[in-house]
Structure 1
Amino acid sequence: MIRRNFLKVAGALTLGMTLSTAAMSDTVLRVGSWLPPTHAQNAVVWPTWAKWVEDATEGRVKIQMEYGLGHPSAMFNLVEDGAVDASFGYHGYVPGRFKLTQGIEQPLLGVNAEAASVAHWRVHNKYFAKANEHDGLEVLTLFTHGPGQIHMANPITSLADLQSKKIRLGGGVQGELGKRMGVTAVGAPATKVYEMMQQGVIDGVFIPMGEQKSLRLKEVAKHVVALPGGMYLGSFAMFINPDFMAGLSEKDREAIRAVSGEKLAAMAGAAWDAADEEGLIAAKADGVTVTEVPADGAMALEFRDLVKGMDEEWIASVADRNVDAKAALEEMRSIAQSYGK
């Protein structure tokens, strides 16, 4: 398992993404990102992968980051159209197109992002890739963020307290959870949550603990309920334009693929896990009340009752994909829960 402190090495790795004048004749792989530069995805994941790519291609391919390209849901199309060469996206932002990816998001998996990400990648390749939900893109890897928790402006003592509260939901399984809880769902990208909380547009958000620090939610969401294993995981893809890949030599294409896939999934998941740990520390240091619910606590039991039947609903929802979703879900959980043991 990956145990390094990714956040401590981020600064050094970022240097590998700077293009010198002498290297401008090399192939530049333009990566578009929608999260701030300080977020783990941009401070750790992309720089680490960039160093891997540069080393694997013996310096022939270098990565250049580009920011502020629009709504995160647009990243899939931007790469497909060649506006940038590679990016990452949250599947829940594109409802309808991505259904199979919600398998990893189902509640009660009870693992961290690294374990889930590896399971996500393996099961995608064995069961889901043939459904071609990422048509027009080459998938570099799949990964998840850490356990999604409840971040509120004001405290709650039960899940029933969320009834009619305005909660920002990011799509995917979050939508079904919000429906079962009776919240008033508000759609917006994660980058808008701070502003919406600050202005009182929303009462809270379902999101991983890392965003207490990276999105400064510790300033506006002063009450967090952390359920054991979280409520859900969020599914992401990192992807590249097939035409860009076709323009490389076969040697460099294979070099990039060799440092992607499961290796990249594990690294990305571990980086988001590390960010969650730092987010928890930052939140507590800033006076955020973090209620860590025990496995036998009232809210944990309330949540288990709330999510009954969600597996079956997801399996039914992907019937048109012609895959064995039930077997895939079982194998996904087995891989994730045995990872590292």
Structure 2
Amino acid sequence: MHQHKVERHLGASISPLRRKHWLAKSGVLLVVIIPLAFSSSLFATELLINTFWPPAHLMRQEVFNRWISDVARVTEGRVTGRFPTSTLAPPSRQWHMVTSGIADVGIVFNGFERNRLHLSTVAELPFGTPSAEAASVALWRTYKRYFEKAEEYSGVKLLGLMTHSGGDLYSLRTAIQHVSDLGGLKIRTTDGSSSDAIETLGGVAVPSSGIGAYQLVSRGIVDGLIMPTGDMRTFNMLQY
């Protein structure tokens, strides 16, 4: 009888790098999902919650930790949660991880599921909202009103949608003053709109997860990258 309560609370001078606020409002989409076959009989147990961010990341500390505390509170301790010591699957395999039953809850970057998830990528259009918070609220309301009926998330229970602040464009070697300066440069991107944008502007997109971006940057494999400033700090890349 507490399942409806659970579902309600499951839903909701920078270094030597040269930076351009070019794609500053191009949000990254993430979804929190749970297997559709999650049985109500399990609502007296512990959820295994997987995130691909390190424990100190803002999303882990301020979102997921608070969320599972709320779930435990409204279910009077019937549902609790724990996090594995490290991610149970790479970022690109989070959907498969959840639907295969490896974890009970996961967070998925929509760009990794481009063949499955289409409508919610409207939030990747740049310059449409003043903040990630406003974009996230608008995206969830739009999903509930228009997109939910399309059943793109069939097979899982969608618990929430969000965007984070847009990615800045960083150059590791030369200043980028004009669009033409991007020609031939290898730029780390995410899958999705940032890759399309870089390719359209003449650059070479090198898609990777945030964690994978560190290897690309530290080894000098790319000439630049697109990433929010907060994640640059989280993944210790401002030193480059």
Query: Rg: which structure is higher?
Result: 1
Pairing 1:189–2:209 present: yes
Q: 2:137 aligns with which of 118, 143, 147?
A: 118
Report the Cα offset of residue 26 of structure 1. 5.1
User: Which amino acid counterpart does residue 174 of structure 1 have in structure 2?
Assistant: S
Q: Could you say which residue in structure 1 is the equivalent of 2:153? A: 134
Structure 1 residues 321-336: aligned runs within 5 Å? none
| Counterpart contact for 2:170–2:225, Cα < 8 Å | yes
**Partner residue of 2:82 out of 64, 67, 71:** 64
Give percent identity, aligned residues only: 31
CA shift at 1:53, angstroms? 0.6
Contact 2:191/2:208 (8 A) holds in 1: no
- Who is 2:63 aligned against? 45
**Partners of 2:115 and 2:87 in 1: CA distance:** 25
The answer to whether structure 1 residue 165 and structure 2 residue 185 are counterparts is: yes
Output the amino acid matched with 1:33. Answer: T
Distance, in Å, in 2 between the alignment partners of 1:115 and 1:26 is: 35
Task: Map 1:249-288 onto structure 2 (within 5 A).
Answer: none
* TM-score normalised by L of structure 2: 0.78
Aligned match of 1:29: 47
Of residues 84, 106, 124 in structure 2, which corresponds to 1:87? 106
1:75 corresponds to 2:94: yes
Counterparts of 2:89 and 2:77, CA distance in 1: 30
Structure 1 CA distance for aligned equivalents of residues 169 and 237 of structure 2: 12
Aligned residues: 196
| Structure 1 letter corresponding to 2:163 | T
Query: 1:26–1:129: structure 2 CA closer, same or farther, 3 Å change rule?
Result: closer
Q: Please, which runs of 5 or more residues in structure 1 have no aligned partner? A: 1-24, 221-341
- Structure 1 stretches of at least 4 aligned residues deviating more than 2 Å after TM superposition: none
Instruction: Please give the per-residue CA displacement for 1:17-68, whole angstroms capped at 9, x wherever unaligned.
Output: xxxxxxxx95101101111112112122100101111111111111101222
TM-score, scaled to structure 1 = 0.55
Give the letter for the 2:230 counterpart.
G
TM-superposition CA deviations, 1:251-271 (whole Å, max 9, x none): xxxxxxxxxxxxxxxxxxxxx
Q: Distance in 2 between matches of 1:56 and 1:168?
A: 42
Q: Which whole-Å CA distance do the structure 2 matches of 1:188 and 1:94 have between them?
A: 14
Residue aligning to 2:126: 107
2:236 corresponds in structure 1 to: 216
> In 1, distance between residues paired with 2:159 and 2:212?
27
What is the aligned-residue RMSD (CA, Å)?
1.5
Distance 1:166 1:177 in 2: 13
Does residue 146 (structure 1) correspond to residue 165 (structure 2)? The answer is yes
Query: Structure 2: which 5+ residue stretches go unaligned?
Result: 1-42
- Which residue is 2:36 aligned to? none
User: What's the CA shift for 1:184?
Assistant: 0.7
Question: Structure 2: how far apart are the matches of 1:140 and 1:59?
Answer: 20
Structure 2: which amino acid aligns with 1:29? L
Partner of 1:308: none
**Partner Cα distance (1:32, 1:193) in 2:** 20
Query: For 1:196 and 1:164, how far apart are their aligned partners in 2?
Result: 17
**Which of the two has greater helix per residue?**
1
Shift of 1:113: 0.8
